[in-house]
Amino acid sequence: MLTVRPAWGSFVVLYARSGQRLVGFHWDLLDKHLQEEMALAAQRRRALFARQFTSQSTPLTLDDGLYYELVAGGLGWINCDRLLEPGPRIEYAVSTPDTATVVSLVFKGQRSILASSRLAGGAAVFEQVPAGAAATVVALRREKGITYLATSGVSLSEAAKPTLEFHPVTLEQLRTELAQL
């Protein structure tokens, strides 16, 4: 008789700066008790994430920056770091108030998100983006337990720099504003 046990799989895809794809996958067999513990742990992580956007919570900011999670699949988006259209590429920099500010580009018409990297001076940098592409700069930061959001529509060029005007947001406001991009 064949015994079937529940399994949990992890599939990880990482991209190196060179564009090389690194893939990892493994299965873990779970008993009922471990399944329940994992479900409770996931529920606690989601609750902790939601609480970070309330004024009573402690910030999830570490020494090397603010960490946030944007589940692009729930928005009907793809998360990619390469753009398919041919043409000239540029390096696009965005000045931020501090290095803990998380900055991303949302490309119009492609519904894709590109995370920035940092220069020594603290600017957020997007490498090899298509010149002239329409995008929205999305920036998040936390200060004294409050989450702030800034968005700015841009046409990507080395000369044009967006002005980021931050305003406090709750989790619901953040979801609403991101859904409108």
Q: 117-165 pLDDT, tens per residue?
A: 876 677 888 888 888 888 999 988 888 888 899 999 999 887 778 889 9
Q: 91-124 pLDDT, tens per residue?
A: 888 988 877 788 888 888 776 778 888 766 778 8
Q: For the chain, list the domains and their CATH numbers.
A: 7-51 (no CATH), 61-179 (2.60.40)
- Can you give the chain as a three-state secondary structure string? CCCCCCEEEEEEEEECCCCCEEEEEEEEECCHHHHHHHHHHHHHHHHHHHHCCCCCCCCCEECCEECCCCCHHHHCCEECCCCCCCCCEEEEEECCCCCCCEEEEEECCCCEEEECEECCCCCEEEEEEECCCEEEEEEEEEECCEEEEEEEEEECCCCCCCCCCCEECCHHHHHHHHHCC
pTM passes above 0.85: no
